[in-house]
Amino acid sequence: MKIVETAHEMKLAAPVLASSSIEVRNEALRRVKTALLSESQRIFEANQKDLIAAEKNGVNSAVKKRLIFNEKKLEDVVAGIDGLIGLSDPIGKVLLDRILDDGLELKRISVPIGVIGVIFEARPDALVQISSLCVKSGNCAILKGGKETKETNRVLFQLIKNAVVAAGLPEGCLFQAEAHSEIDELLQCDQDVDLLIPRGSNAFVQYIMDHTRIPVMGHADGVCHTYIDRDCDLEQAVSIVTDAKTQYTAACNATETVLIDRCIAREILPLLQAAFQEAEVAVRGDQEILPLLEEYGFHFPEGMEPLMGEEDYHTEYLDKICSMKLVDGVEEAILHINRFGSHHTDAILTENQKTAERFMQMVDSAGVYHNCSTRFADGFRYGFGAEVGISTSKLHARGPVGLEGLVTYKYRLYGHGQKVGDYASGKSQFHFRDV
């Protein structure tokens, strides 16, 4: 069946899934967990095939590491499912309950978004996480994972799909796309697909955004900043910046640019140089800071110009490379971040509460942090159980997107024959009262 037909059938199944009880959706998750545990050998064998193919195809070691699905990964995804089962039902929540007039009651109630298309990287645990989140939130999902894990994904998806259908959820609630060409088909399904969540490289996400009329949730860039203020705790600042830059460089929430308050440059730079040398971080900077970086013996990246022009501050390295810049205090830091950042996650390091509040207020990002690492921007670390992605859009979900980001609401109005004409003519008046 073509994706467009699958999506159309899913659209019809969506209200059925949306009206399923939380008991059935939790039972589905329990069955998924049982299936994964009892069929673990089949999953591991499929994963071996993917790993052997990756070896043969010369897939690089960073990607290969993500392909692995072993006992440890299984434990993690099962713990994730247990966490999800424990969370309260995100749908059917009464967000507003207002009497408009005698016998005319308005309720705003959370409902699933409907049909979601998720295109994600080659990571088998991502498939389990995403499908579990969609089941719990009552959303139908079309899933397309990276081709490097196709054997593992096929087994995982079959186990998951069978488990949720056996629990009583509609047959058409989950679908796995396998061919790359199906992505372009999916982009055309704006009549039936309510939301796309692409995960992957900037270029890929931008391609999705440019080629569909379906709303897209996610982010193309993750240019995160850490600003070191004059009033910081120097030792703490060095330790946080090092974590933010190096704890996992390939993540979108890794710090890419370190802004340093000009008046403490000569205090912090030697400490930072020692930490960066140990962590093997190379640096780049503009005409002002570059001589200082040279003076203190920082390491520069290979095959890349250490001198940065202004526009270079938009760069997301996803590597052990860091843009450096001196700024004239918190105000210039705010201007720089709002201009060159990607509105993802930005941190200030300072012991001055007033300076911190100014930064937290004025920086226009999904996450603004005080005295901690930008790497905390993550659904699990926010206590959301899991995430389908991180959104830099300001509409609807912003930041890590878990269950709450997968629901919207609808208004229900309960009346007893009320007509607008009576209110327009003045025969009736509204008497608003929140319940």
Q: Does 398 bind a copy of itself (CB under 8 A)?
A: yes
> What does the alpha-carbon distance between residue 423 and residue 145 come to, in Å, rounded to a whole number?
54
CB of 367 to a copy of itself, least distance (A): 5
Binding mask 399-418 for a copy of itself (x = CB under 8 A): x--------xxxxxxxxxxx
Nearer to a copy of itself, 315 or 393 (CB): 393
Q: Does 217 bind a copy of itself (CB under 8 A)?
A: yes
In the region spanning residues 32 to 91, those forming contacts with a copy of itself, defined by CB under 8 A, are none
CB of 304 to a copy of itself, least distance (A): 26
> What does the alpha-carbon distance between residue 315 and residue 224 come to, in Å, rounded to a whole number?
10
Q: Does 271 bind a copy of itself (CB under 8 A)?
A: no
Residue 194's nearest CA partner among 401, 21, 403, 8 is 8
State the pairing for strand pair 94-101/433-434: antiparallel
Nearer to a copy of itself, 182 or 387 (CB): 387
Q: Does 362 bind a copy of itself (CB under 8 A)?
A: yes
Tokens matching residue 269: 């730079």
From residue 375, give the alpha-carbon distance in Å to each of 10, 44, 199, 227: 36, 30, 18, 14
Among residues 369, 379, 401, 403, the one that binds a copy of itself under rule CB under 8 A: 369
State the pairing for strand pair 140-144/174-177: parallel
Residue 408's nearest CA partner among 141, 195, 153 is 195
Nearest-5° angle of CA 425, CA 428, CA 430?
A: 115
Nearer to a copy of itself, 14 or 290 (CB): 14
CB of 217 to a copy of itself, least distance (A): 7
In the region spanning residues 336 to 355, those forming contacts with a copy of itself, defined by CB under 8 A, are 338
In the region spanning residues 113 to 132, those forming contacts with a copy of itself, defined by CB under 8 A, are 113-114
Q: Which helix (H) or strand (E) holds 293?
A: helix 290-295
Among residues 70, 291, 419, 435, the one that binds a copy of itself under rule CB under 8 A: 419
Tokens matching residue 120: 């994600």
In the region spanning residues 187 to 216, those forming contacts with a copy of itself, defined by CB under 8 A, are 194-195, 209-210, 213, 215
